[in-house]
Structure 1
Amino acid sequence: MSKSSSDAFDVIVVGGGIVGSSIAWGLAKLGQKVAVLDEGDDAYRASRGNFALIWVQSKGLGMPAYAAWTVRSARAWPGFAEELRQQTGFDLSLQQNGGFQLALSEPELETRAQRLRRLQDQPDMPRYGCEILPSEKIRAMLPAIGPQVVGGSYCPLDGHVNSLRLFRALHAGMQEFGTEYRPNHNVDRIECSNGEFRIHSAGRELRSGRLVLAAGLGNRRLAPMVGLDAPVRPQRGQLIVTEKTMPFLPHPIVTIRQADEGGVMIGDSHEEAGFDSDLRTQVLSVMADRAIRMFPVLAGLNVVRSWAALRVMTKDGFPVYEQSETCPGAFIATCHSGITLAASHALILPRWIVQGERPAKDFGAFSARRFHVPSTA
């Protein structure tokens, strides 16, 4: 094993997707010597399936702290995007002028309204202006909607970005700050003693004073090595991309967005299929049918690509952020909204990791200990 100084770092981040890259960028910005260990191309990368949304509405039912964390990140996104643009020259095409969730029947709209009421009725729930709108008001903002749209919800904080440029900017930015990015570095084991972590990867032993596990589904295997818990599971999501067309969708829909290049993305599946990332044409057809009912213009567009990817989901759908009690200095960051939370991961979490600055008074809600409550008989 090599034990040269080139393998010693202040912080090692395991995982080079959107979550890990956002955290690594923020750590390097604080002056830390950072290494990012990433798997090869055959990894189950949740980043492959991201829908590039910055999304607030619907977040936090059952955990208001998550709603507050999401709102905080959404509000930080304009400054974050501008900072990346100034550093790297990449324009992320941030569009944050509000987003919709549309309903195609009155019962569906009422279900949506009830969910929003339950969400907002929770104690300590932040207010962010989400409202139910009738079809005529939505049509004034989205003229291309079809006649089957009866209404929907709207939130002014919602938006989307070019996620490929975000990924490129994060990698360019963190490496400009001095971060070492090491692909094809699967982690075999992690040892902790005397305040130092020794990570065995790709035939080498790397050392660091702090460790961040941001490896998505891989966190389930890695977390116990440092006394942490990552109760995550894969959830399959399928996506469709159409050919480029003239702009017709000035606001993103939770399941449909028109990218800045003109293509339309459709993503509307949440499948419990284990580690199976194969496409299912019957699911794609249902997704396409619903999208066309919302926006009839889509019926005339060709599909140029479709694929499936695996989301990283905890038992309750909320993130896990925690520092190990048995191996202090080891942290875990697991979530399924890496784009929405990128600003918080880049600007807020690193101060917690390096300086011990608690991100929020209710941040303990994100501990995996919430899953350890014994069930009553």
Structure 2
Amino acid sequence: MDADVIIIGAGVVGAALAYGIAKTGRTVIVLDGADRDLRAARANFGLVWVQGKGANAPAYSILTRQSSELWSDFRNDLASASSMAVDYSRPGGLVFCLSEAEYENRATINERTHNQGGQADTVMISRTDLEHMLPAVTLGPDVVGASYCKLDGHVNPLQLLAALHRAIPIMGGKVLFRNSVGKITPLPRGFSVVAAEGDLQAPRVIVAAGLNTPGLTEPLGLSVPLRSERGQILVTERFAPMLPFPGSGLRQSADGTIMIGATNENVADTGVTVSSATKLAQRAMRIIPALGSARLVRQWAGMRVLPLDKTPIYAESLNHPGLFAVACHSGVTLAAAHATVIGPAMANGHLPDEFAPFSNGRFDVQKCA
């Protein structure tokens, strides 16, 4: 065997799993795809977000909160192991409401989440309170208030990914770039992974290859139902600190740029459009009119990896023990849980019972219903 675990996919999800496994002392090899593969990890808004997650899925809400609580220690350990900066803060987060209807809708989501057993960590705040929280900006007249969650934070996603890629080899693992996988073949004791640079073998394989995951797992009977969704983001020039709290769709990075996002488009490519830029900019200016004079320096698009019910999939093959699949659209938020809990559990060969709600088997139940 070439390693204890082979992970297919070197994005934030696969890299966080590998980092957690390497910390346990096991050997891990991470296989990256081709340069032109769709990469959600490099088109990310960077929120470590709790509010609204799992409003209709209590287990997802609990896991999100767990990961949020783990994030500070995860970031500190990763920065130390990689000797790289990872800009992260957890001041709480805002969802701006531009009408009474938006305000009531957010209040309903918060109430539903709390009624399902979630902690009362998200509150609705008035425009007056919001103005006190944001003294450096003048809010637009349409802003009626916001939803605020004290557990929310944000991180530089590119720094996060780079630090993971550096830390894994330091801890004894390997990250093999430009090494696309074509097939997984079961062996009497483990698996052979057919990759561009040669075959590799391991007793356990975790597929975290984003939208490419079903193509690798379904030939072995491991179904991972996914769909894609394009999201576009705008980035402005640098400003003096003005937004102390990250917002859903509007946040200021540590280097001063303002990120504005993101669209939700049923489109299968990563092109950018003027119409989406206009829509994003108009909403941002309704929140902070002064942004109307800001220069835009970048616009990009990425593809979200979405399970059909938007809840993460942690799947374990019934036919081929040792084969796992991971798919989610919250790779940054869940990175701490992936490294601390899920990666080590999969390396041990079995997911704990509390992860049963995330099994791919839930889709079979939904079909029957």
Give the TM-score range, shorter chain: over 0.9
State the shift of 1:354 in Å: 2.2
Structure 2: distance between partners of 1:192 and 1:358: 20
- Provide the identity percentage: 38
- 1:321 and 1:331 in contact (8 A); partners too: yes
Q: Tell me the matched-pair count.
A: 367
SS in 2 for 1:261: coil
CA deviation profile, 1:112-159 (whole Å, cap 9, x unmatched) = 11122222222xx22051011111111111231323210110000001
Partner of 1:365 in structure 2?
357
Structure 1 residue 229 corresponds to structure 2 residue 230: no
Structure 1: distance between partners of 2:240 and 2:19: 35
State the shift of 1:357 in Å: 6.4
State the shift of 1:211 in Å: 0.3
Task: Identify the match of residue 289 of structure 2 among 282, 285, 296.
Answer: 296
State the shift of 1:203 in Å: 4.9
Structure 2: distance between partners of 1:262 and 1:374: 45
| Structure 1 residues not aligned, in runs of 5+ | none
Counterpart residue identity of residue 132, structure 2 = A
SS in 2 for 1:368: coil
Structure 1 residue 40 corresponds to structure 2 residue 19: no
Partner of 2:317 in structure 1?
324
Counterpart residue identity of residue 132, structure 1 = M
Task: Identify the match of residue 99 of structure 1 among 93, 105, 111.
Answer: 93
Partner of 2:210 in structure 1?
216
State the shift of 1:351 in Å: 2.3
- 1:351 and 1:357 in contact (8 A); partners too: no
**Which aligned pairs between 1:104-119 and structure 2 lie closer than 5 A?**
104-119=98-113
State the shift of 1:339 in Å: 0.6
Structure 1 residue 166 corresponds to structure 2 residue 180: no
Structure 1: distance between partners of 2:20 and 2:304: 23
Partner of 1:76 in structure 2?
70
**Which aligned pairs between 1:52-91 and structure 2 lie closer than 5 A?**
52-91=46-85
Query: What TM-score does the superposition give when structure 2 sets the normalisation length?
Result: 0.96
- 2:185 and 2:192 in contact (8 A); partners too: yes
Structure 1: distance between partners of 2:4 and 2:221: 20
Structure 1 residue 17 corresponds to structure 2 residue 31: no
Structure 2: distance between partners of 1:362 and 1:73: 15
CA deviation profile, 1:232-265 (whole Å, cap 9, x unmatched) = 1110000101111111000000101111011111
Counterpart residue identity of residue 125, structure 2 = L
| Structure 2 residues not aligned, in runs of 5+ | none
CA deviation profile, 1:45-86 (whole Å, cap 9, x unmatched) = 111221110000001122100000000000001111111122
**Which aligned pairs between 1:266-277 and structure 2 lie closer than 5 A?**
266-273=260-267, 275-277=268-270
Partner of 1:282 in structure 2?
275
Structure 2: distance between partners of 1:376 and 1:363: 21
Counterpart residue identity of residue 318, structure 1 = T
SS in 1 for 2:161: helix
Structure 1 residue 355 corresponds to structure 2 residue 348: yes
Query: What TM-score does the superposition give when structure 1 sets the normalisation length?
Result: 0.94
